[in-house]
Amino acid sequence: MISHAWRLNIATMLFFMLIQVVVPLIPRYALVIGAQPFLIGLAVSSVSITAIIFRPIGGLLSDRWSRRNLMLLGLIMGSCSYAILFFSKDITTIMISRLLEGVAVASFVPSSIASAIDSAPEGRVGEALGWRSLMIGIGFSVGPALGGFLSELFGYVTTFGITAASLLALTPLILSTGGEPHSKRGGSSFAGLRDGRFLLALASLIIYALAWMGLLTFLSAYLKLLGYGDVEIGLFVSIQAVASLSIRVMAGRASDKNPRLMTSIGLFFISLSFFAVYIFEVPPLLYIASLIFGIGVGFFVPGSQTLALAKSPPNSRGFLSSIYTMGMDVGNLGGPIIFGAVIEAYGSYQTAFAIAPILPFVSAMLVLFAPLKELSVGTPIPDKQESPS
């Protein structure tokens, strides 16, 4: 008998896998129907707009209504998004599809995180989040390859239709994840926003996302200018993904004891990897940076999530999860803009690459040494576990 927690993990993995089946195909499909590069970029990034707007709403509804129903809503919105993509003939329709996909992600993700915490045994939240992040990583790794295979076999449009139907097919799995173990009454969903742990984790996620998305965007462009193809940047991403997956559960267990330390270790590794990118710049030595980066992310993701959410009250976990994950959306939007502005101002990719390692290093020092006044359901509690010593 598969436990409710593992049904949730499997459903989460399949949700992200199906999302990733489609996402890499969208720019190519847009080119096929004759869209211009600027509009393609706008369509690809438009998902972050609705995700940022609707994440807090989805989080609040998760706490006050139903986590399971919000995940079901995410499946329905995702299916509708890809059904629209199935019928799309122009870039405007693709944009509408992406905006709806943002609503799907905003509905599903906060409730998925909060449900994982709800079902975690006492003192093992980090381990539960480690397993969850491992399953998401598998989904992110398998999805693009599956999408490429399906599109080669059936074409873009049929692949979009298959994905839309497959998302709806996850409904019984979500329904089988059990009831609502959290209390929907009492307390404010906003109280946890004052928790020093949460604020540190949120700040670290935003800084990490700014640096990573800015670096990845222009590292890809830089390698293209030097004559490298899609294989090299794809291998860079794949190496870090495999390295990250290999340690997430172990890092999650360690995060139950000291999430600040795990978050900081992850950020230090990430900073080191970005410095290696600045030094090496091109393959094959660039893949050393990818390996180091994967190790860093493996520590950072479960550590930061545990730091942010492990002590959150049950009736605010959905909302706090939504605000926390919004940090990634902010980075996705802001990172490429900031790094692009630096490159234009100085006329040098290397200048932007030199800035990248500074950001996670400063964030690591902040997480490790910042004094905390932690709050638990509105009441100060002492910081015993996460001292940097």
Cα–Cα distances (Å) from 174 to 108, 121, 216, 330, in that order, read 11, 20, 34, 29
Q: Are residues 143 and 200 in the same domain?
A: no
Type and span of the H or E element at 375: strand 374-376
- Within-domain flag for 129: yes
Structure tokens at 294: 């994967």
Whether omega for the bond prior to residue 121 falls within 30 degrees of 0, making it cis, is: no
- Within-domain flag for 385: no
- Within-domain flag for 384: no
User: Distance of alpha carbon 161 from its chain centroid, rounded?
Assistant: 25
Residue where the block lists tokens 């509804």: 61
Q: Are residues 41 and 164 in the same domain?
A: yes
Taken as a whole, the chain contains a residue count of 389
Nearest alpha carbon to residue 49 among 334, 282, 352, 310: 334
Pick the last residue of a domain from 118, 146, 175. 175
Which DSSP string corresponds to 247-304?
A: THHHHHHHHHH-HHHHHHHHHHHHHHHHHHHHHH-STTTHHHHHHHHHHHHHHHHHHH
Helix axes 286-309, 259-280, angle to 10 degrees: 160
Residue where the block lists tokens 């096929």: 32
Report how many domains make up the chain: 2
Q: Are residues 200 and 348 in the same domain?
A: yes
- Within-domain flag for 124: yes
Q: Are residues 87 and 212 in the same domain?
A: no
Structure tokens at 305: 């999530």
Its domain, for residue 78, covers: 4-175
268-214-258 Cα angle (round to 5): 25
- Within-domain flag for 258: yes
Q: Are residues 96 and 200 in the same domain?
A: no
Q: Are residues 225 and 307 in the same domain?
A: yes
pTM over 0.75: yes
Q: Are residues 240 and 332 in the same domain?
A: yes
- Within-domain flag for 376: no
Q: Are residues 90 and 12 in the same domain?
A: yes
Pick the last residue of a domain from 175, 203, 221. 175
pLDDT tens digit at each of 389 positions of the chain: 778 888 999 999 999 999 988 988 888 888 888 888 678 777 877 888 899 899 999 999 988 888 899 999 999 999 999 999 999 999 999 999 999 999 999 999 999 988 888 888 888 899 999 999 889 888 888 888 888 889 889 999 999 999 999 999 999 999 988 655 555 545 566 777 888 899 999 999 999 999 998 888 788 778 878 888 767 777 887 788 888 888 999 999 999 999 999 999 999 999 999 999 999 988 999 999 999 999 999 999 999 999 999 888 888 888 999 999 999 988 878 888 889 899 989 999 999 999 999 999 999 999 999 887 644 333 333 333 333 32
Q: Are residues 102 and 236 in the same domain?
A: no
Q: How far apart are CA 60 and CA 67, in angstroms?
A: 10
Q: Are residues 72 and 18 in the same domain?
A: yes
- Within-domain flag for 182: no
Structure tokens at 85: 């993509």
Bridge partners of 379? 376
- Within-domain flag for 180: no
Q: Are residues 112 and 260 in the same domain?
A: no
Structure tokens at 204: 């670290």
Residue 166 contacts residue 293 (beta carbons within 8 Å): no
Which amino acid would we find at residue 268?
A: F
Q: Are residues 150 and 227 in the same domain?
A: no
Q: How far apart are CA 210 and CA 196, in angstroms?
A: 21
